[in-house]
Amino acid sequence: MTPTTQQRLAARLPDPAAKPVMFQHWTDLLFLHWEYPAETLRDLLPTGLHLDTHEGKAYLGIVPFFMSDIRPRFLPAVPWLSKFQELNLRTYVYDDEGTPGVWFLTLDAANPIAVALARTFFHLPYRFSCMSATGRDKINYESHPCNGRKSNYVYPRPTNGIEAAPDTLEFFLLERYFLFAHNPKRDRLYRGQVIHAPYRFSLTSAKEWSTNPITECGLPAPEGPPTHQAVASGFDVRILPLQRLR
């Protein structure tokens, strides 16, 4: 069954026995979401995950943002590894225990070392991408994967926003504190928690956006502009260890 409101709120609470394995800072996030056919997204999920929906609708999202102050536990951040851009293509799922989270179709990052480490130790579908960004009040964000097409996103830099109220669409799309990962070679499913303050978002309208990350996964491009668009300023993040589910 779809997770209850109580389960969605409980996902914010960290396991008191778990120690972070990594620290990060996320800033200037753009959330572009389209309603998408549920049957298409369900076919992409491994055994043990179920498609999460809001009022019966499934969503596919593109999220470009900036990462900084990245460091593993007990080690300092290093300039050539601790700051880069990332863009992910995602949908929303829950596991057999009813824990809601994110399922990534792709994650583009501008650091090849970080890509290799994330693929190896977190079993996530990262790929290296040449990325750049310019602008102060308006961000011009570009991503060009090695074996893909360039995507461009132009959006206003986030300012002070509001927290999403439970049971709203914004809460469903933004308030996600678990990610799921799959090792296809061994058919193992993992769950990891990220701890941070609730998003403070503002609704927006991107001046430019691309669906290239969607079509490069072999999926049909959604019809029309994004169904929902928002920006969020950012926060510090703690990454907890992956847990094997099966």
- pTM to 2 decimal places: 0.96
**Residues 181-231 pLDDT 10s:** 999 999 999 999 999 999 999 999 999 999 999 999 999 999 899 999 999
Q: pLDDT confidence of 126, banded at 50, 70, 90? A: very high
Direct distance between the N- and C-terminal alpha carbons of the chain, in angstroms, rounded to an integer: 19
**pLDDT digits over 69-125, tens only?**
999 988 877 777 889 999 999 999 999 999 999 999 999 999 999 999 999 999 999
H helices, E strands: number in the chain: 5, 14
Report the alpha-carbon distance of residue 201 to residue 231 in Å, rounded. 5
Measured CA to CA in angstroms, residue 31 lies from 91, 147, 154, 158 at distances of 12, 24, 12, 11
Residue 102: strand pairing partners: 92, 179
Tell how strand 188-195 and strand 243-244 pair up: antiparallel
Structural domains in the chain, sorted by start? 5-244 (2.40.400.10)
Helix (H) or strand (E) holding 215: helix 212-215
